[in-house]
Structure 1
């Protein structure tokens, strides 16, 4: 058994079952934004200690969406990268919060986070500032701010 499957099973049988029934359909960006320091709102904002990432989970009709919004202020710029991953689910979508949270953190964020990192890096290059180094996914998971599915 692979390590990924072993971890999913240890998180609970419903999460392991959900992971087995999920198939990634698409990753779509909702917003990509970068503003250099000294332009508009960035001149008024102090740089944060690190990136702020909010996460949403929504499920209906055999579909799960996980959305991540990364907001990062540096000394040189302000970045926003916001994306959603769409998964199709074969069968019923579990309604237990622990299963939803497990899927969001272990699968949804793991899928989206590399896209967000690459986007911020690309935006920094395009506006001519030093690309910020974003943490590994494991560190980002510890700082999640989960949001309700209504957002």
Structure 2
């Protein structure tokens, strides 16, 4: 799933992430149960994808204006977003608490893509942890998405 160059209008996204999403894109789906079909041609805010337009008041829109949806976690249904206000970090937003809880996923879109490739191609969990650590050590810290997935025993 790729984004057209026009899909970044008025978005403060790091150049490396823009370039990656324009040129390479992300897969429609990938382990562990991730989907990137929300990334249809442009980066859209949470309120354009989740719920009805009437569900969102101005305070919600302002609070969530920094997040642009690129996909979702199929296990929980939480959106995967680029955090424009935090240097383009990739995060998930917890839909059960109306997107108040944020979990770090990766430091950038290219690092997310590398994690997806490694996660789907590693022979052992020990091997994958070593390789993932080299790509984005922050993503393996306690309380982060990938640490949670590894601790939950997701097959690699």
Task: Give me the TM-score of the superposition, normalised by structure 2.
Answer: 0.25
Greater C-alpha radius of gyration: 1
Q: Structure 1 or 2: larger strand share?
A: 1
Task: Using CA pairs under 8 Å that are at least 6 residues apart, name the structure with larger relative contact order, 1 or 2.
Answer: 1
Task: Give me the TM-score of the superposition, normalised by structure 1.
Answer: 0.25
